Amino acid sequence: MSSGKILVTGAAGKIGNAFWQEREDKSDLRLADLDVTQLPESAQRFALDVTDQASCLRACEGIHTVIHLAADPDPDADFMASLLPVNIVGTYNMLFAAKAQGCKRFIFASSAQVIEGYPTDVQIQECMAPKPGNLYGVSKAFGEALASMYANDGQMTTIAVRIANVAKFQQGETHSPRDVAAFISFRDVVALLNNCVEAELKGFHVIHGVSDNRYKRLSIDQSRKVVGYAPIDDGFEILEGGAQSD
């Protein structure tokens, strides 16, 4: 599909940085964050406060695809002070603005925290209902539900990407079994987001973001089929010295 111009919110964060740094040609990007001073001048920069709906409307003007990464990523963030205004109201503002401005695709950065209420020995399938383990997960579950609603009339495709443990592993490091099973490398998460931009899709979809780990906290069987996700890295293998994450 022709992706047109892409708006990336939270573009100064670690995933946003990885996404735009991987692209040689940044002319089709509008990179948005509260502070744009660290963003490249080769892309269009936009100072965005997602809690301000008018700012969100301006950010979405002329945009085909939104990659909404902006959020408070702290699992222990205070609900009233941060999760409510940034993750919940901010996501509402962005989806409202995208729809109002005629955007065709909205990619929402959800989180593995949406399903952390399930036992750790249960592998989560894409079709399984959210079961948050904390209020951060609740804020992301709200975003998934809202994205689903905004796809109902068929005018905008929405994708919730449950991004797990984005990290750089090194041989010999010690991590919890859960964190290894949830590992996703930077190159795999960038490839996944690019696939979500380009895949031929309609409606609403839940996609899982983990690398090709020996055991995966999140199944990627449907994600492979729906968006052609083909992860390269394996967190277990990297820690054992068989490969290096990128």
Instruction: Give burial (CB, 10 Å; 0-12/13-18/19+) of 113.
Output: buried
Span 78-118, pLDDT tens digits: 999 999 999 999 999 999 999 999 999 999 999 999 999 99
Domains along the chain?
6-240 (3.40.50.720)
From the CB of residue 17, how many other CB atoms can be counted at a distance below 10 Å? 19
Give 122 or 244, the one with higher predicted confidence. Answer: 122
Stated as kind and residue range, the H or E segment containing 31 is strand 29-33
Exactly one of 136, 150, 215, 229 is catalytic; name it: 136
Per-residue pLDDT tens digits for 70-80? 999 999 999 99
pLDDT in tens, 24-54: 889 999 999 999 999 999 999 999 999 999 9
The answer to whether residue 92 is catalytic is no
- Would you say 208 and 220 are in contact if contact means Cβ atoms under 8 Å apart? yes
Residue 140's alpha-carbon distances to 68, 85, 91, 166, in angstroms, are 12, 13, 9, 16
**pTM, 2 dp:** 0.96
Residue 245 has pLDDT above 90, yes or no: no
